[in-house]
Chains A and B, each alone.
Chain A
Amino acid sequence: DSGVTQTPKHLITATGQRVTLRCSPRSGDLSVYWYQQSLDQGLQFLIQYYNGEERAKGNILERFSAQQFPDLHSELNLSSLELGDSALYFCASNPSGLDSYGYTFGSGTRLTVV
């Protein structure tokens, strides 16, 4: 157990719908990262939050948004879902936001859009 908790583990939804993925970082970690793993794009960085504030954006679609709450858990919201959004979504955390230390990943949420 990495200490990073992601829920739900699996999610099946229809095109056009909206879903929320939840992540609780390791105890004490201030920084949260979201990555998408798809067959064609591999592991892609989406967005980072540090202590409640957005710190960096990667290849995140406008239909996607995220936030980090005062208790440091984070949510990734995906809306107007398309078939191509089907992927494994990972959350990772890091104590300080110093990216060079690396990240601890959760088990992922597997999203299937039908």
Chain B
Amino acid sequence: AQKVTQAQTEISVVEKEDVTLDCVYETRDTTYYLFWYKQPPSGELVFLIRRNSFDEQNEISGRYSWNFQKSTSSFNFTITASQVVDSAVYFCALIGDTGFQKLVFGTGTRLLVSP
């Protein structure tokens, strides 16, 4: 069975600090896909990134970066120079390539960025 663990329930930082959100996953599939979604206070789920299991290159998008390490089954998300608008709940999710699997989410990490 697929499983995603986000051990950090809540993180509080001050604006301009860097912050890393951890994501550890479990799967028996050789091919799988990892995602991050953002849920701001307004409630919608916003897609941030999709990564397949064969692409271990780290990715950077503006202040956001993702570190995928298959050796430790982790897909961590770093926000550089955090801003108040980054305050949200962030979800890591996983889907494998066998059977009729659906997206499985972690429990989310609430990030609070104060001015």
A: residues with CB less than 8 A from B are 2, 33, 42-43, 45, 48, 55-56, 58, 88, 90, 92, 99-108, 110
Contact = CB atoms under 8 A, between A and B. Distances in A.
Q: Which 3 A-B pairs have the closest CB atoms?
A: A105-B45, A43-B105, A107-B44
B45 A58 contact: no
A90 B100 CA distance: 20
Given A33-B102, A58-B102, A100-B95, A106 B44 contact: yes
Contacts of A107: 42-44
A100 B55 CA distance: 14
A33 B105 CA distance: 14
Nearest to A100: B33
Contacts of A99: 95, 100-103
B103 A45 contact: yes
Interface of B: 33, 35, 37, 42-47, 50, 52, 91, 95, 97, 100-108
A111 to B, nearest CB: 12
Nearest to A6: B44
A100 B31 CA distance: 10
Nearest to A44: B105
Contacts of B106: 42
12 contacts: A42-B107, A43-B91, A45-B103, A48-B102, A55-B100, A56-B100, A88-B43, A99-B102, A102-B103, A103-B103, A105-B37, A108-B45
Contacts of B37: 105
A90 B52 CA distance: 24
